[in-house]
Every structure is written in structure tokens, then in C-alpha cells.
Chain A
């Protein structure tokens, strides 16, 4: 098991390296001059040269790449061309915001998936209606669900849930940036509950589609597990259906569900960019869309790298979880 994890970590480093290379190359071949973005259109020739040197763009390409990688490893992504501030400073509040939202969305995905999976197999009308409703929900794009949920929970239900921002109170000065955790650390139930309320709608919008897909795969897995020869063996040995589901079927059905979750997590990262816009969530997504608007390439590269890294790490975690669940993966 340890060597398996080691191998996975090794390939993770390789993938991240190539991701960095890709992002860097894109920046070089993109048809925009970063210096112009930095100094403005009307700057003098001298100012342009000075800025070029300041940004390190005089160096040979390999040297530029090396310093880019070196910086990225330490969390230094250079200076934003638009705001002239270090990108890492700007991201320090936004990264926790996105990670917190992503974490909640993933948790909700699993919750929705597991609870729907048990409803899915309901025979008769109720099951059919539920399947229809959730199918529609899954096929709607996340921004539509986001706007609908704002309409329902904020407008029609009289502000039952907040529809914008992360908190009614603002951040703690010495906080981690994860508001729910901050609230718990400061022993403030009001603050914590408020942060959770703010999280619910965006997390729901980002997780409905993934959750329904997960439910489907999980339900299929469980029902095929229950008709498998080893389930029959368990039955013949006197196990009750509930025991068979808990002891045997869930574990066997979770392999395909986990694989799907890894893919869905990737989609979720990109759908967060949109969801954050709708809910005025000050995270990486809204940062990215404003950076794209002004051609702030170092900022775009930084966000792409971080989102990519999150995706790769999630996938690695799922691979390890798969190996833990299915001995055939790690022992053959």
C-alpha cells in the first residue's frame, strides 16, 4: 500500500510539472505583450524597456521558466499586471474562499449521491417521479440552478438564505480564511451559522448535477452487486438484505462511484468559476474572470496552476481511496 501511494505521489509531481510547463508556454505564445498591459498603452520606450527588465522578460526563456517554477513552488506567482500587487497577496483571501466552497460542494455531492441512491431503486411511481425530477436537475447547467435557487430561497421565501457574499460580519483579522472554521475557533455560534448559511446556496448549485450523477452510478453498482454470485453466497449463509448492502454491496459499488467523483470534482472546479460570479463569492473564480478581462496573464497562470493542482491532488486522493477499497487494484 505504501509503495502504491509513493508511486501515485511521484506521478503527481510529474503531472504538476507538465501543467506548469503548459501554462508557461501558453503565456509565451499568447498574442499579448505583458509589458504593455503592465505600463499602459501610452508609456515611453524607456519605460517599456525598464518594465521589461523589471519583469525579467529579458532573460532567456529557460531561465524565465526556471524562475517561474521556483516561484510557483514557494507560492510566489509574480506581480499582477493589473493591480501591480503580488499575486500571492491577492490570492491569500481568495484561495480559502474557493477551497471552503469546493469542500462543502464535494461534501454535499456525496450526501446527495448517497441519499438519492437509496431513493433511486424505489419501485413504482414515487421512484419514477424522483428520477425525472433529479434528471432534470442534473441536466441543467450550474448557473441556471444557481439563479433558480437565488430566486426561490432569497426572493420568494423572503431571504430565507443569503444570496451573496461569504458572511454578514466580515473576516476575523487573525482568521484562517475558512469562515466556518474561524467561527468555531472563536467559539462564535452566530458567526459560524451565518457562514454556513452563506455557503449553502452556492455549494448546492455546484453540487446538484454531480450528486445526481453519483447517485445513479452508486445505485447501479449496488443493484448489480446485490444480484452478484457473492451476494447470493451471503444470502445462503443467512445474511439479511440490509447486512448484505452494508457489509458487501456498498464497498463493491464504491469503486465506480469514486472514479466518477474524481471526474466530477474536475467539472466542479470549473463550474465554481461561474457559481462564484452569481453569488458574488470573492474566490478564485471571480478573480480569474476579471483577470481574463484585462489580459493579466500572470494572474491567469497562477489561478490555472492552483485549480489544476487541486484537481490533480483530488484525483490522486481518489486513486488511493480506490486502492484502499478494492484489493484487486493494489495487489495485482
Chain B
């Protein structure tokens, strides 16, 4: 019925003009959403999903950089995309939105009350609005500034702000992507209830198929500015017909994913690395792509003797080690306290309380826990970036040199004015292996490692900013393993990446682990990724390791309340 249709987008095309080039962000997209329905717009970075989200609320600046054709009808009013002067009337009344980054999406200099009262009309109405998004003690929250609230609270405030004008259409642009998994589940619940009460139509933009299935009635999958598949959520997720959707679905990892094999569809870069490794191991060249597609490719195929350590570092001499009892990383009763001063008094924050654990030779251990559980501090102490107040850390290991860290934000962890070759050389020069090597030898090492992580000689001269997010993370990993460390410390290396890229980075880490024989400490708040990489999962909360669970049957074996909450937070 026409009168219940809130949003109709017809043949929308958006192009951006810049540096003499014209980029088509969205091409001939048509969508409709009825009142009370939620449409999920799913796609990876650059698919054009956020451009549509911005276009239907008219916040693409009309400065001539962006041009659009097609039409957008909101609540019966037809608007020309971008340029229509009527957008100023539609925005904030018929259409409002919730954005991704709750840290920065609220004006830091204003109290919540001052922001909210403007749209609700009175403090009483604001309290009611906050209570609708399940904020307790709303009266106090009104007097606070954004920086005094947690991420989850801020996003609830955002939802309250967006729903205050009583919109017909709500745009939710990755509303929970920046939140911790367990908070994400809560906020999604709040959002779902609030929009059901409000009865508005919702355009839900996300890269996460799990979140989309959880939230949406219908799903449209986008790739390169085009909708490749659309339909009811269960059909698109359950029986994807488009190859791209199928690939996206295959890249999703859950608590049931097979850990012994590579995940996702065969990917050229990873396949090349695998063939490389097999050649190095003198294994009969098997058809990697074929075996992967058939599900016959297991990580065991890449497990070599410790010889691989020598091979990758450019040292041909082989050291065979049969039985290793010495741990690669031994953390013993580590304590860490951060002190701050508030109102002249010292406030101690005991971040790590007598934490002890070991990572064996060739073992992979994941550390899971929410923000503030102390997991990242523990990683920094293990990596020698910070020192413990008391307790010891031994990362001597048997093979490899020391520890290396791969961070979440690869772009920020690579010095921007250095070329990839210089970045890798810097690491080589600071190791025993690299002592006395010539430029050419180091270059050869860098090149073979880059090939191992699925890059080629062309990136040697590139600077980090010229690379994509996935490439940056590969370079960061290459830098960490160019001289294999005894332990590779990974701090949420995939949480900033698109699903398919994250998937290939996880495959890469697994490949390196098996072929180079390095131990891994994997810090994350994503249980599914933890389970895929690690043999054991340590659950951290409040600065203590509360549980150690074998990875294989993680979902069944985890016992603590906190662990169960994390399991439930992984949206199936």
C-alpha cells in the first residue's frame, strides 16, 4: 500500500568528482521501506552503502563535488537528491539518524540535557526520552557531558536524540560497530525496542551480516555501488543466490566454524602464500585452490619442522627441535596499577592482579575480555612496551627473536613517511639475525616475507598511506615476522577490517603460525576470531584471568557468567 511506504529511492546514482576523476559511488539503486520495517543495507567499505545513508537524509554537501540523479520520496514528499532546498525541512523532522562513532558524534562542550531539551522541549520530556532507551537515573545523566558516559550510554543518548523529533524514517549508520560486542547486543536490543515503539521505518547500514540478520526484516547487499541481491532477511542470509553474498556469508566466522581449515573462499593472495610455503617445505605441489574449495586443505599441511624458521629468515642452516618444554612466553604474577589524581586525591586503578600464564612453543592463546578488562595492558607488558609493577615476563623462547606486536590500527602503527622496505629493514637491523647483513640481503628477506603475506615487490617502495587497510595490516604483519619472533602478539588485528579482509588476515596469521612455528598471543573481544586462531582461550575480567577454555568446544565448555555473556554476544 502506497500510504505505508515511507521511503522510496528510485534510480539513485551518486558520483564524486575529485582530482580530475569521476567516481561513481552509487549507481541506479532503487529501494523502498514501509513504516515499521527495517531494511538492512549490507556491504563492505566502498560499496556505497553509507553514501545512500547520507543521501536519503540530505547531508551530502551541495558543494559541487558530489552529483546525483534519480529521486527520493520521503513520507510522500519527492526530493531531488543533494540539491533540493526542501532537505532542510525534512532533515531532523521526517528523517533523523544514529551514527557510528558515539565518542565523537555528540558535541563535547554540551551537557546531554542541553542537547536533548532542544528537541524534546522540556527537561521532563528529556527524562522520559532517556528512560525509553533504558537509561536509569536519567535526571543525573542529563547533567553530564558526553565524555563522562560510556560508549554504550552515549549511543543510547544518540538513539534518544534521533527519536526525539518523532521521525518517520531513521537512518542507522553502523550504530554498534564501534562498541564492545557485549555492549553491542544491549544497544541493538534498545534500538530494536525503541523503533518498534516509534513505528518508524529504518534504514540500517552495516557491514556485519550477523547484525543485519538480527535487526532487519529485509536485506539489500551492495557491492561497488550496486545492489547485488535484495529480499527478506532470512532468504538473503539463509539461501544467498548472488556469488558475492555467498562469499560474504562464507567469510563469516562463528563459534561453529571449522578451526583446522582456512575459512572463507580461496583467495588468490593467501593461495599464493600457501604455495610459497609448500615449495619451501619441499612438499609435493598439491592443488591448493582445489583442495581449499573442497574443504580438504588443513593447516597441518603447512606444519614444517623448525627448519621453516631458518628458511624464512634467510638462514639455510636447519635446527631441528623435537621436544620443547620451555614456554615461549611465561608471565608470572604480574601486577599493574595506574594512578591518577582526582580532586587532589590519588586514585589507584589496579589493572592487572597477579596474572600468570604460559604460552607454549608453537601454541596459540587468545585473551578475550571487554574494554577495561586489562587484556591490552597485559599484551603491552608481554611485548615489553610497558613494565609490570611486580612479577616477571619471560619471552626468551627457543626459536625466534623476542616478541613482536601487530596492532589494531595498522595505518597508525606504520611510520607514514617511511617506505615499506625501510619499515621492514628497520626491524631486521634491530635483530641478531640481521646483524651484518647487506642492504641487498635485507631487501631479499623483506621481499620473501612480503610474498609470504600475499604482497609483491611493487609495495616495497610504497608508503603506508598509499595502501588499503588490508594491505597495511599485511605490511604490519610482514614487519613483525620478517625475522620470526618467538611470540607474535596480536592486539585486535582484524576488528577494524572488512569481513572478507579480516577473514584473509586470520587465514594469514594461521598460515604463519603453522609454517613459521611461532607462538601467538591473540587479544580480542571477538570470541569467534579468538576460537579460530587459538588453542586455548583465556577469559579476562577485572584484571584477572577467570577461566581457561580449550578453543574447540568453546561455546559449550565456557562456564563463567561473564564468558557466557561473551558467547551470547556473538550474533549467530
- B105→A331 contact, CB < 8 A: no
Smallest Cβ distance from B314 to chain A, in angstroms?
46
- A327→B108 contact, CB < 8 A: yes
Report how far A332 CA is from B95 CA in the complex, Å.
35
Chain B residue numbers with a CB within 8 Å of A325 are 109
- B165→A237 contact, CB < 8 A: yes
Report how far A252 CA is from B165 CA in the complex, Å.
25
- A233→B108 contact, CB < 8 A: no
- Contact flags (1/0) for A235-268 with B, using CB distance below 8 Å? 1111110000000100110000000000000000
Chain A residue numbers with a CB within 8 Å of B105 are 229-230, 232-233
- B109→A232 contact, CB < 8 A: no
Partner of A233, one of B88, B111, B158: B158
**Given contacts A233-B99, A237-B96, A327-B147, are A251 and B106 in contact (CB under 8 A)?**
no
Smallest Cβ distance from B87 to chain A, in angstroms?
9
The residue on A at minimum CB distance from B164 is A237
Report how far A248 CA is from B119 CA in the complex, Å.
15
**Given contacts A252-B109, A327-B147, are A233 and B165 in contact (CB under 8 A)?**
no
- A237→B92 contact, CB < 8 A: yes
Check: B406 CB closer than 8 A to any chain A CB.
no
Within 8 A of B (CB), among A283-332: 325-328, 331-332
Check: B148 CB closer than 8 A to any chain A CB.
yes
Report how far A332 CA is from B162 CA in the complex, Å.
28
Report how far A3 CA is from B97 CA in the complex, Å.
39
Within 8 A of B (CB), among A197-240: 228-230, 232-240
Range for the number of chain A residues in contact with chain B: 20 to 34
Chain A residue numbers with a CB within 8 Å of B99 are 229, 232-233, 236
Check: B23 CB closer than 8 A to any chain A CB.
no
Report how far A120 CA is from B287 CA in the complex, Å.
63
Which of A233, A248, A252 has its CB near the most chain B CB atoms (within 10 A)? Answer: A233
Check: B161 CB closer than 8 A to any chain A CB.
yes
Check: B343 CB closer than 8 A to any chain A CB.
yes
Check: B401 CB closer than 8 A to any chain A CB.
no
- B119→A237 contact, CB < 8 A: yes
- B107→A230 contact, CB < 8 A: yes
The residue on B at minimum CB distance from A330 is B145
Report how far A250 CA is from B197 CA in the complex, Å.
37
Report how far A232 CA is from B162 CA in the complex, Å.
12
Smallest Cβ distance from A253 to chain B, in angstroms?
10
**Given contacts A236-B91, A237-B96, A239-B92, are A3 and B343 in contact (CB under 8 A)?**
yes
**Given contacts A238-B88, A238-B92, are A233 and B161 in contact (CB under 8 A)?**
yes
Report how far A230 CA is from B91 CA in the complex, Å.
15
- B59→A236 contact, CB < 8 A: yes
Interface of A is mostly: helix
Chain A residue numbers with a CB within 8 Å of B89 are 238
Chain A residue numbers with a CB within 8 Å of B161 are 233, 237
- B59→A235 contact, CB < 8 A: yes
Chain B residue numbers with a CB within 8 Å of A326 are 108-109
- B104→A230 contact, CB < 8 A: yes
- B107→A248 contact, CB < 8 A: yes
- A235→B91 contact, CB < 8 A: yes
Smallest Cβ distance from B409 to chain A, in angstroms?
17
Report how far A89 CA is from B395 CA in the complex, Å.
74
Partner of A229, one of B104, B145, B147, B171: B104
Check: B93 CB closer than 8 A to any chain A CB.
yes
Smallest Cβ distance from B96 to chain A, in angstroms?
6
Check: B57 CB closer than 8 A to any chain A CB.
yes
- B148→A331 contact, CB < 8 A: yes
- B59→A232 contact, CB < 8 A: yes
The residue on A at minimum CB distance from B342 is A332
Smallest Cβ distance from B389 to chain A, in angstroms?
24
- A230→B59 contact, CB < 8 A: no
Which of A230, A236, A326 has its CB near the most chain B CB atoms (within 10 A)? Answer: A236
Smallest Cβ distance from A2 to chain B, in angstroms?
12
Check: B101 CB closer than 8 A to any chain A CB.
yes
Report how far A235 CA is from B148 CA in the complex, Å.
24
Report how far A236 CA is from B98 CA in the complex, Å.
9
Chain B residue numbers with a CB within 8 Å of A3 are 343
- Contact flags (1/0) for B161-202 with A, using CB distance below 8 Å? 110010000010000000000000000000000000000000
Report how far A239 CA is from B105 CA in the complex, Å.
15
Smallest Cβ distance from A216 to chain B, in angstroms?
21
Smallest Cβ distance from B77 to chain A, in angstroms?
14
Report how far A14 CA is from B423 CA in the complex, Å.
48
Smallest Cβ distance from B513 to chain A, in angstroms?
38
Within 8 A of A (CB), among B60-107: 88-89, 91-93, 95-97, 99, 101, 104-107
Report how far A87 CA is from B99 CA in the complex, Å.
64
- B92→A236 contact, CB < 8 A: yes
The residue on B at minimum CB distance from A236 is B97
- A332→B147 contact, CB < 8 A: yes
Report how far A140 CA is from B526 CA in the complex, Å.
59
Smallest Cβ distance from A24 to chain B, in angstroms?
32
The residue on B at minimum CB distance from A230 is B107
Chain B residue numbers with a CB within 8 Å of A331 are 145, 147-148
Smallest Cβ distance from A196 to chain B, in angstroms?
35
Smallest Cβ distance from A236 to chain B, in angstroms?
5
The residue on A at minimum CB distance from B59 is A235
Partner of B101, one of A229, A240, A327: A229
Interface residues of A (CB under 8 A from B): 3, 228-230, 232-240, 248, 251-252, 325-328, 331-332
Query: 9 nearest interchain CB pairs?
Result: A238-B92, A229-B104, A327-B145, A237-B92, A229-B105, A238-B91, A236-B97, A230-B107, A251-B109
5 contacts between A and B (CB under 8 A): A229-B105, A230-B104, A234-B107, A235-B91, A238-B91
What 12 new A-B contacts, CB under 8 Å, besides A229-B99, A252-B108, A327-B147? A3-B343, A230-B106, A233-B158, A233-B161, A236-B92, A236-B95, A236-B171, A237-B92, A248-B107, A252-B109, A326-B108, A327-B145
